[in-house]
Amino acid sequence: MSRRLVFLALTFFILFTWMRPAGAVEDAQSGPALIQETMELLETHHLSHPDPAKLTDGAIQGMLDSLDDPYAEYFSAEELQGFADSLNGDLVGVGIEIRAGEQYPFVVDVIPGTPAAKGGIAAGDLIVAVNGESTEDLPLAEVVTRIRGVLDSAVTLTLRRGAQEFDLILHRAAIHVPLVEQDMLDGGTGYIKIVSFGTRTAEEFDAAMARLKADGMRSLIVDLRFNGGGYVLEAIDILDNFIADDSLAFIIDDGLGHQDEIHTQGKPAFKDLPVVVLVNGLTASASEILAGALQDHGKATLVGDTTYGKGVMQAVIPLSTGGALKLTVSRYLTPAGRDIDIVGLTPDHFVLVHDLQKEIAWQLLHPEDDPDLGFVPGSGKAALNSRELDVSIDFLQLGNERYLPLRPVLEAMLYQVAWQDGVIKIFSGREEILTLNTFNSRWNIQPGAFIEQGISYLPEKILPQLNIDINKEGNKIVLTRRLF
112 three-state secondary structure: coil
* Residue 123, helix vs strand vs coil: coil
Could you tell me which of 386, 348, 388, 383 has the C-alpha nearest to residue 364? 348
pLDDT value of position 447? 56
CB count in 10 Å sphere of residue 44? 9
Residues 6+ apart with CB under 8 A from 70: none
Alpha-carbon span 405 to 409, nearest angstrom: 6
Residue 143 and residue 217: Cα distance in Å, rounded?
Answer: 38
Pairing of strands 312-318, 173-176: unpaired
Catalytic residues: 285, 310
Beta bridge partners of 416: 427
Model pTM above 0.85 = no
Separation of alpha carbons 398 and 482, rounded Å: 27
Q: What pLDDT, on the 0 to 100 scale, is given for residue 217?
A: 98
Q: What is the pLDDT of residue 296?
A: 98
Distances (CA, A) of 476 to 135, 385, 390, 394: 38, 14, 17, 11
The one-character DSSP state at 409 is H
Question: Residue 35: its pLDDT value, please?
Answer: 83
Nearest to 457 by CA among 422, 413, 384, 408: 408
Question: Judging by beta carbons within 10 Å of its beta carbon (0-12, 13-18, 19+), is residue 420 exposed, middle or buried?
Answer: exposed
Task: Name 185's bridge partners.
Answer: 189
Residue 387, beta-bridge partner list = 384
| Residue 327 C-alpha from the chain's centroid | 21
Sign of CA dihedral 18, 24, 26, 30: positive
> What is the number of other CB atoms lying within 10 angstroms of the CB of residue 443?
6
Task: Please give the pLDDT value at position 189.
Answer: 98
Q: Are residues 31 and 22 in contact, defined by beta-carbon separation less than 8 angstroms?
A: no
Who's near 15: CB < 8 A, 6+ residues apart? 45
The strand order across the sheet containing 219-223 reads 180-185, 189-194, 219-223, 275-279, 301-304, 349-350
- Extended beta strands in 376-448, E state: 382-384, 387-389, 396-398, 401-405, 416-420, 423-428, 431-436, 438-439
Beta strand ranges found along 231-351 (DSSP E): 248-253, 259-263, 275-279, 301-304, 312-318, 324-333, 349-350
From first to last of its 484 residues, the chain has per-residue pLDDT tens of: 444 444 444 443 344 444 444 444 445 456 788 888 888 888 888 888 898 888 888 888 888 889 988 999 898 888 888 888 888 888 899 999 888 888 999 998 898 999 999 999 999 999 999 999 999 988 887 898 899 989 999 999 999 999 999 999 999 999 988 899 999 999 999 999 999 999 999 999 999 999 999 999 999 999 999 999 999 999 999 999 999 999 999 999 988 889 999 999 988 999 999 999 999 999 999 999 999 999 999 999 999 999 999 999 999 999 998 989 999 999 999 999 999 999 999 999 999 999 999 999 999 999 988 899 999 998 888 999 989 998 889 998 888 888 999 999 999 999 999 987 778 899 999 899 988 887 654 444 445 777 878 788 888 999 999 999 999 988 899 999 988 6
Q: What's at 105, amino acid-wise?
A: P
Task: Report pLDDT for 439.
Answer: 66
Q: What is the 3-state secondary structure (H, E, C) of 127-192?
A: EEEECCEECCCCCHHHHHHHHCCCCCCEEEEEEEECCEEEEEEEECEEEECCCEEEEEEHHHEEEE
Residue 14 belongs to what H/E stretch?
helix 3-18
